[in-house]
Structure 1
Amino acid sequence: MEDFSFNEDLNEMVLEAKKYSKYGSVADYIPALGEANPETLSIAIYRGKGDCIAAGGIYEKFTLQSISKVITLAVALMDHGEDYVFSKVGMEPTGDPFNSIAKLETNIPSKPLNPMINAGALAVTNMIIGQSIDEKLGRILGLIHEMTSNSEITFCERVAKSELDTAFLNRSLCYFMKQHGVIQSSVEDLLDLYTKQCAIQVDCTDLAKLGYVIANEGRNPETGRQVIPLHITRIIKTFMVTCGMYNSSGEFAIRVGIPAKSGVSGAIMGSLPHGLGIGIYGPALDDRGNSVAGMKLLESLSSRYNLSIF
C-alpha cells in the first residue's frame, strides 16, 4: 500500500468523482434528507494519532443512517455474545433491497438474513440493554464518543422526527418480526430509538475515525483504549464486505475491495484492515441507496493506491 500525502491527488479525485453526482438523487423519501445539496462530495482519511488528510467540505455535518447498524451490532454483541445475537438475525447476504420484507416471509425460521438490512438492524437495536430509550441511545453514543474521542457527537432531532414520521415500512418489518418472536418490545419505542440512532450526526473526520477503530482491531489510537473486542471487529468487517453496500456489495468488493458501509444520507465509511479509516459524504444516491460519487471516489482511490484487500 502506497503512502498517502495531502497533495493535489486527493483534491483532483474529489473533483473528478463529483461529476458523477448528476447521475444520482438525494433520499427525499425522508423529507429532511431531501434538503441536502446533491453536488456535495468530501472525504477524510484517518491514519491514527491525529493524522488525517482530507478534501472537500469535510466539516459539513450529516447523519450516519445505516452506518449506525455497524455500531449497534458491536454494542449488541458486547451485550449478549454471538450465539444470542445470531439466533435472532442471520449472517447471509441478500440480493434484495435493504428495506425489503420478502425474505422474512419466505425464510423458516422467520428471522432477518443479516444485520445490515433494515429488518436485521431493527432486530439488533432491539437487543441493546437499557431501562429506557435515552439509556440505550446513550450507550450507542458512548461507544461512538470512545471511538472518535469526540464527546460532542449527538443526534439530529429534526432528522430523527422526519424519519419516525415516515417509518411506515420499518413499522411493517417490526410488526412482522414481533408476530414471529424475533422482537418482543414495543414497536414504537424500538422505532423511536432506531430513528435516533440513524440520525446521529457526524462529519467526515468523525466517520473516518470510526472506520479506523474498526479497521485496527477495535483500539482507539489516541487513547490506547480497546473500545471494541478484536473478535467483534472481525465480525463487523466481514459483514461490511458481504453486506455493507446493500445489494451492490458483490460488485463493490470486486471494483473497490475495501470493507465499507453506506447510508442513505450519502455517507460511506471504509475500514482498511490494519490501515486506514475513510469517511466520505456525497448525498446523491444510486437506485440501491449508495452514494454515486462516493463509490466512484473510493474506486479511484483503491485503484490508484492499490487498497483492495483481495
Structure 2
Amino acid sequence: MILDGVIMRGLLESVIENNMPYTKDGKVASYIPLLSSANPDHLGICVTTLEGKEYSAGDCEVKFTMQSISKVISLMVAMLDKGTKNVFSRVGMEPTGDGFNSIVNLEVRNYNKPFNPMINAGAIVTCSLIEGENVEEKFQKVLSFTRKITGNDSIDINQGVYLSEKNTGDRNRALAYFMKGNGILQGNVDDVLEVYFKQCSMEVCCRDISRIAAMLANDGVLPWSGERVISREVSRIVKTIMVTCGMYDESGEFAVHIGIPAKSGVGGGIMASVPKRMGIGVFGPSLDEKGNSIAGIKMLQELSKELDLSIF
C-alpha cells in the first residue's frame, strides 16, 4: 500500500491535535525517579512504510528511553543466539492478567517459569540467554542490533536513567533471585540485571521505533536497504507475542479496539507493527494506570480506524 504523502502528514497532524487533550488524563512514570521529569504534554508520532518512506507529526524528535520496548530487541537477539526452542524452554508464550513486574505468577501460577518475554521476569530471562563473555559484550550486542534495525548509529544509553533504574531496581532483583533460586535463571544475577537495566535505558525517538516496527512488518527485512536481519519465523513469533502480551495487562483490550501488534514502555513510547503495511512509533509520557501512553493509545486507535489497520 503506497500512501499519499500530503494526506498522510495531514492525517498525523490531525491525530496529534485530536488526542492532545488526553495527555491531561494520565501521569508520567515516577517509580524510576528520573522518568518523573518528562514533559507530560509531549506527543509525537512517526510512520515508516515498507517502501522506506517516513511521515511524522508532533514531538517526533524528542528522545525517550525504550524501557519495555527493548524487551522486543533482547528477545530477537536471544533467539538469534540460542534458537527459538531454547529460549522458550525457559520463558513462556502466554499472556498474564497481572502487572508487568508481578512476582506472584512466578510462584503460584506458572511453576516458576515467566509467562512471556514481555513482562519483567521474562525479559530478564531472555537477557540471560544473550551470548557474550561479559556484561559489556552482551549489552554491546543488544545496542549494535538496535542501531542496525533503526539505521541510527547514534543510539546510546541515557546514563542518568540507567543509574536511576539500577539504584531503584530492587523488585527486578527480587524477580531475578527468585528465578535463580528455582533454576530458571542462569548466570550471575547482577550481570544479567546490568544488561537489562542498560537495554531499558537506550534512548530513541518515534522515528527509531517506527523503523523497528517496519522491519517486523516487513517480515524481518529492513525497508530502506532490503537486508534481512531476522528470519520470517522469528518476526512472526515476535509480532504474535506483541499482540497477546505487548501492552501489559491491557493487551486484550488493545487487540479488540486497535488490533495491531504493539509493545509499550513506561518511558511513553509505543511501537506498533502493521504486517505487510507499516511501522508506527508514538510517544507520549503521560501514562494510564496500566503503564501505557494514554494519548498514544488514543492516537493508534484513531489511526487504526482511519486506515483500517486492524489485523483481525
- For Structure 1 versus Structure 2, the TM-score category normalised by the shorter chain is over 0.9
**How far apart, CA to CA, are the structure 1 residues paired with 2:199 and 2:126?**
12
**How far apart, CA to CA, are the structure 2 residues paired with 1:97 and 1:144?**
26
| More deviation, 141-150/158-167 | 141-150
Question: Unpaired runs of 5+ in structure 1?
Answer: none
**How far apart, CA to CA, are the structure 1 residues paired with 2:108 and 2:213?**
34
Tell me the equivalent position of 2:17.
15
- The structure 1 residue matched to 2:27, chosen from 25, 29, 45, is 25
Tell me the equivalent position of 2:103.
101
| C-alpha contact 1:104 1:110 (8 A) present in aligned 2 | yes
**Pairwise CA distance, 1:189:** 1.4
Tell me the equivalent position of 1:177.
179
Other structure's SS at 2:280 match: strand
Tell me the equivalent position of 1:165.
167
| More deviation, 137-146/1-10 | 1-10
| C-alpha contact 1:64 1:201 (8 A) present in aligned 2 | yes
**How far apart, CA to CA, are the structure 1 residues paired with 2:310 and 2:111?**
36
| More deviation, 253-262/147-156 | 147-156
**Pairwise CA distance, 1:26:** 0.4
**How far apart, CA to CA, are the structure 2 residues paired with 1:86 and 1:50?**
32
Other structure's SS at 1:6 match: helix
Answer yes or no: is 1:189 the counterpart of 2:191: yes
Structure 2 CA distance for partners of 1:7 and 1:68, relative to 1, 3 Å: closer
Tell me the equivalent position of 2:299.
297
**Pairwise CA distance, 1:42:** 0.2
Other structure's SS at 2:149 match: helix
**How far apart, CA to CA, are the structure 1 residues paired with 2:307 and 2:163?**
41
The residue type paired with residue 112 of structure 1 is P
Alignment of 1:43-122 (within 5 A): 43-107=45-109, 109-122=111-124
Tell me the equivalent position of 1:3.
3
**How far apart, CA to CA, are the structure 2 residues paired with 1:109 and 1:25?**
35
Question: Unpaired runs of 5+ in structure 2?
Answer: none
- The structure 2 residue matched to 1:244, chosen from 236, 246, 266, is 246
**Pairwise CA distance, 1:161:** 0.5
| C-alpha contact 1:2 1:306 (8 A) present in aligned 2 | no
| C-alpha contact 1:146 1:220 (8 A) present in aligned 2 | no
Per-residue CA deviations over 1:224-275 (Å, capped at 9, x if unaligned) read: 2111111000000000000000000000001000110000001000000011
Other structure's SS at 1:8 match: helix
The residue type paired with residue 55 of structure 1 is A
| More deviation, 35-44/1-10 | 1-10
**Pairwise CA distance, 1:49:** 4.8
Other structure's SS at 1:46 match: strand
| More deviation, 184-193/277-286 | 184-193
Per-residue CA deviations over 1:262-300 (Å, capped at 9, x if unaligned) read: 000010000000110100000000111000000000000
- The structure 2 residue matched to 1:135, chosen from 134, 137, 148, is 137
Other structure's SS at 1:233 match: helix
| C-alpha contact 1:70 1:236 (8 A) present in aligned 2 | yes
| C-alpha contact 2:176 2:185 (8 A) present in aligned 1 | yes
| More deviation, 91-100/148-157 | 148-157
Tell me the equivalent position of 1:220.
222
Q: TM-score normalised to the size of structure 1?
A: 0.97
| More deviation, 134-143/161-170 | 134-143
| C-alpha contact 1:156 1:200 (8 A) present in aligned 2 | yes
The count of corresponding residues between Structure 1 and Structure 2 is 310
The residue type paired with residue 13 of structure 2 is N
**How far apart, CA to CA, are the structure 2 residues paired with 1:45 and 1:9?**
11
RMSD across aligned positions (CA): 1.2
| C-alpha contact 1:2 1:305 (8 A) present in aligned 2 | no
**Pairwise CA distance, 1:50:** 4.1
**How far apart, CA to CA, are the structure 1 residues paired with 2:173 and 2:55?**
40
The residue type paired with residue 91 of structure 1 is M
- The structure 1 residue matched to 2:277, chosen from 275, 280, 284, is 275
Q: TM-score normalised to the size of structure 2?
A: 0.97
Structure 2 CA distance for partners of 1:108 and 1:238, relative to 1, 3 Å: closer
**How far apart, CA to CA, are the structure 2 residues paired with 1:257 and 1:30?**
30
Other structure's SS at 2:253 match: helix
**Pairwise CA distance, 1:151:** 1.3
The residue type paired with residue 117 of structure 2 is P
